[in-house]
């Protein structure tokens, strides 16, 4: 198995097993059920510590030793949504900050408030590593998963792969997990600490449920800006190398503070995406055109939804009238072209 990320090809051997996002969700639900399945408050409180350890590893990719040494009262920047790890264990001897979502920190804060209610204001007294590992393996069994894929180190690895497959650049994942591999470090030069914070925050907030009405979004870096008298054409390169073009007013360009090298999210509503058969190359005036495979077709009386996969981690959704003759000849698995105009692309930097 392989996928593209940051102009590098990441190859996963068939025997290199890991939990995917769906399996991680199943495992998380087992931990949550375990934490609440007792009538004794002291038992629930103790089990929530195990849940907290799992959640911290699952959503930050931290090492077990880092989590067990965490002091939430000193190592969490609540207003900036950062958790600090690695002051004792990172190879560089320098602590690192991991961006998380507000939703995740709100849950952590709820737990801390319960801890304070118990009258314990110092560092959380986490269980010892051996006991934590035992509980991880028990939750794996309850979830029907291979226990070898559910240990703390395996969860950390699964998180790294999840981030990469979701389009987070390799250098950013390297920084988030605190890796010091020289080969990876060489690719880090392109990204400053501020840029990594933007990338990580964008993914964290997207993952935690902030939604947009646009079905299609592309996260990338502005490669070029062609400024006109009233409007400007913005060229964006995604982490997988796809080029997206958008036209916005010069006033919006100034207001958003966009410049070459800025990171933005380009959004396109599904009704603005058109689809044609790929039997032969076609010419059109649309600025954005991609070839892909029809993954899903959902037909309704009025409209039809097509989901086209253009790469390992990017899918484009199109909403068409159910009366389109094209729909009678297209099936799942067919190759098609999807295209949309630059004026249909909305840029977002929030």
pTM, two decimal places: 0.52
Eight-state DSSP code of residue 263: E
Please give the Cα distance from 291 to 69 (Å, whole number).
49
The rounded distance, in Å, linking the Cα atoms of 257 and 262 is: 9
Distance of CA 186 to the CA centre of its chain: 23
- CATH 2.40.50.100 positions along the chain are 216-267, 270-339
Taking the C-alpha atoms of residue 305 and residue 315, their distance in angstroms, rounded to an integer, is 12
CATH number of 216-267: 2.40.50.100
Confidence (pLDDT) at 134: 95
Burial class of residue 289, CB neighbours in 10 A (0-12, 13-18, 19+): middle
* pLDDT tens per residue across all 350 residues of the chain: 444 444 444 444 344 478 888 889 899 999 999 988 888 888 888 898 899 999 999 999 999 999 999 888 788 988 888 899 875 544 445 778 888 888 888 888 888 777 655 545 456 778 899 999 999 999 999 999 999 999 999 999 888 888 876 667 777 777 788 776 534 433 333 455 665 666 666 666 666 555 555 678 888 889 999 999 999 999 999 877 889 999 999 999 998 889 988 888 899 999 999 998 866 566 777 889 999 999 999 888 888 889 999 987 789 999 888 777 677 778 899 999 999 999 999 998 76
Q: Which helix (H) or strand (E) holds 98?
A: strand 96-99
- Are 243 and 218 contacting, i.e. CB atoms less than 8 angstroms apart? no
Residue 80 CB partners (closer than 8 Å, separation 6+):
none
| 3-state secondary structure (DSSP) of residue 338 | strand
Return the pLDDT at 11: 41
- Fold classification of 270-339 (topology level): OB fold (Dihydrolipoamide Acetyltransferase, E2P) (2.40.50)
pLDDT for residue 74: 85
- What is the reported pLDDT for 146? 92
Q: What is the location of CATH 1.10.443.10 in the chain?
A: 2-208
Quick one: pLDDT at residue 147? Answer: 92
Q: What is the pLDDT of residue 289?
A: 92
pLDDT number for residue 184: 41
Which CATH number does 2-208 carry? 1.10.443.10
């Amino acid at each position: 198995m392989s996928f593209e990320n940051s102009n590098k090809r990441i190859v996963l051997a068939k025997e290199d097993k890991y939990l995917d996002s769906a399996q991680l969700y199943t495992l998380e639900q087992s931990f949550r059920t375990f934490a609440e399945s007792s009538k004794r408050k002291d038992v629930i409180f103790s089990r929530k510590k195990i849940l907290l350890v799992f959640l911290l590893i699952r959503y930050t990719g931290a090492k077990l030793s880092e989590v067990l040494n965490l002091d939430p009262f000193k190592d969490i920047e609540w207003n900036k949504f950062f958790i600090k790890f690695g002051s004792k264990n990172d190879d560089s001897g320098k602590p690192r900050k991991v961006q998380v979502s507000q939703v995740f920190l709100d849950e952590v804060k709820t737990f801390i408030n319960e801890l304070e209610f118990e009258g314990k204001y110092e560092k959380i007294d986490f269980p010892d590593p051996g006991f934590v590992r035992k509980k991880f393996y028990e939750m794996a069994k309850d979830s029907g998963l291979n226990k070898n894929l559910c240990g703390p180190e395996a969860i950390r690895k699964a998180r790294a792969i999840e981030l990469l497959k979701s389009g987070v650049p390799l250098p950013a994942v390297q920084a988030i997990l605190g890796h010091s591999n020289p080969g990876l470090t060489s690719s880090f030069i392109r990204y400053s600490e501020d840029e990594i914070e933007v990338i990580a925050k964008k993914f964290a907030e997207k993952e935690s449920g902030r939604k947009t009405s646009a079905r299609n979004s592309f996260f990338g870096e502005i490669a070029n800006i062609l400024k006109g008298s009233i409007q400007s054409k913005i060229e964006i390169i995604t982490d997988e190398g796809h080029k997206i073009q958008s036209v916005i007013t010069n006033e919006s360009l100034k207001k958003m503070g966009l410049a070459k090298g800025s990171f933005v999210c380009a959004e396109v509503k599904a009704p603005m995406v058109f689809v044609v058969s790929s039997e032969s190359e076609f010419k059109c005036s649309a600025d954005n055109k991609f070839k892909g495979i029809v993954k899903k077709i959902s037909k309704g009386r009025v409209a039809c939804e097509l989901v086209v996969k253009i790469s390992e981690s990017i899918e484009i959704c199109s909403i068409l009238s159910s009366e389109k003759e094209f729909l009678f000849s297209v099936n799942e698995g067919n190759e098609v072209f999807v295209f949309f105009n630059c004026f249909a692309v909305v840029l977002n930097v929030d």
